[in-house]
A and B are shown apart, each in its own frame.
Chain A
């Protein structure tokens, strides 16, 4: 049934069926889309340069950070973050596959209390982001994350809102956001309890235990008045996925960790209660 010729025919039939249903927009629409894209890139470049000149300190790359844990349960280094080093982006593609070399980190800056904005900032590659949260009646904690490609106002970027609702035993909940053309993937989440540091282990094949670790990223959650949880935001390279999450307390002791394989589905990190 699924030998090569048969599969080729079936796929050809599928492609043909979809093609018949698809309606091509006018070529002029494609050209408009192209010009919008070019215009956005041009404006983005100008804004990025201006932003780096006037407020470059909003970006914090942590280079030369914590070394790899000695064992699977070893806590990570609690070395203080390197402050405000506008170093060039570190491409994981250049990192040896088995290395636990440090990867870029984003330091969150708290927003004004009561404003609903937990934090906002700019990623190392110029992506603008903003995290809002509120306590929704009957829905528990709700957060709204917005992220936009370089040169695009954050209000015009991708956004998504989720509520914790009945997941009272959730220890950490996170998700990632990207879209075609974005240079990085934004990862944002919520941690409960005393987690003072979140370490994300990245792989290019997150479901394969044998695949090498591509890198780690460590981020310190921030707490906002009125919320019992910590919030974190960080950015990872587009060709990597979060394969494991480990939480540490303020003393650098490991609280718990969760492997990617234990997530509910390969592409659904979702919420988890790790022990």
Chain B
């Protein structure tokens, strides 16, 4: 019973934050919620062990990130079918669309978005990002650098564009 109370408190304290972080990675609120819930479902059966960890949240986040990476393939399949059938209607998405960053992230190649999200939203070090993605640290750094540059271009305020045009 004590374990159950522990888990409930941990879940209540961390769920929303993890969904926010995974949204940065997936770009889709439903997908983010799905992988976070699945990660918690895996955590609850291991809770007697996980509760002894310094940061059980890190374990859940790691599982969710891995699930999100696998889940991209499902998205790819969906995209393929949409192309076969008809042009896809725009996805309204969550109301965070109003944030320039959310929109800009959608314009980035997935590899860059992934590294940016893991580094800036999830808070992993470059080395941890490289390890998680199975790429050399140099590759992760390069993607991070290119991603920041691409993001800078996408986040340019309209006023700045006007000034340049003049």
Contacts and interface: CB of A to CB of B under 8 A. Distances in A.
B74 A177 contact: yes
A256 to B, nearest CB: 20
Contact of A158 (B16, B32, B74, B152): B74
A162 B16 contact: no
A91 interface: no
A11 B23 CA distance: 10
A259 B121 CA distance: 33
Contact of B23 (A13, A18, A24, A239): A18
Given A1-B156, A175-B77, A268-B83, A180 B67 contact: yes
Interface of A is mostly: mixed
Contacts of A185: 73
Interface in B1-35: 4, 7-8, 11-12, 15-17, 19-21, 23-24, 29, 32-35
Interface string B38-74: 1011101100000000000000000000011011111
Contacts of A179: 70-71, 73-74
Given A19-B19, A30-B37, A180-B35, A165 B85 contact: yes
B31 to A, nearest CB: 10
Nearest to A143: B84
A269 B12 CA distance: 39
Contacts of B84: 162-165, 167, 173, 270-271
Interface residues of A, number: 59
Contacts, number: 175
B116 to A, nearest CB: 8
B96 A2 contact: no
B43 to A, nearest CB: 8
Interface in A163-193: 163-165, 167, 173-182, 185
Contacts of A24: 11-12, 15-16
A110 interface: no
A43 B123 CA distance: 38
Contact of A2 (B4, B95, B121, B148): B148
Nearest to A15: B20
Nearest to A25: B37
A49 B149 CA distance: 52
Contact of B71 (A1, A16, A21, A180): A180
Nearest to B64: A180
Contacts of B83: 264, 268, 270-271
Given A8-B120, A271-B83, A17 B40 contact: no
A267 B23 contact: no
A109 interface: no
23 contacts: A11-B121, A14-B24, A14-B121, A15-B21, A18-B24, A21-B29, A22-B15, A22-B20, A24-B12, A24-B15, A27-B8, A27-B12, A30-B37, A33-B38, A160-B81, A176-B76, A176-B77, A178-B70, A180-B34, A181-B38, A182-B70, A266-B110, A267-B75
Given A19-B20, A176-B76, A207-B111, 16 more contacts: A1-B152, A1-B156, A2-B149, A8-B120, A12-B121, A14-B24, A17-B96, A22-B33, A30-B40, A164-B84, A174-B80, A175-B77, A176-B73, A178-B73, A178-B77, A179-B73
Interface of B: 4, 7-8, 11-12, 15-17, 19-21, 23-24, 29, 32-35, 37-38, 40-42, 44-45, 67-68, 70-81, 83-85, 94-96, 99, 101-102, 109-111, 116-117, 120-121, 134-135, 148-149, 151-152, 155-156
Interface of A: 1-2, 7-8, 10-22, 24-25, 27, 29-31, 33-34, 37-38, 158, 160-165, 167, 173-182, 185, 204-205, 207, 238-239, 264-271
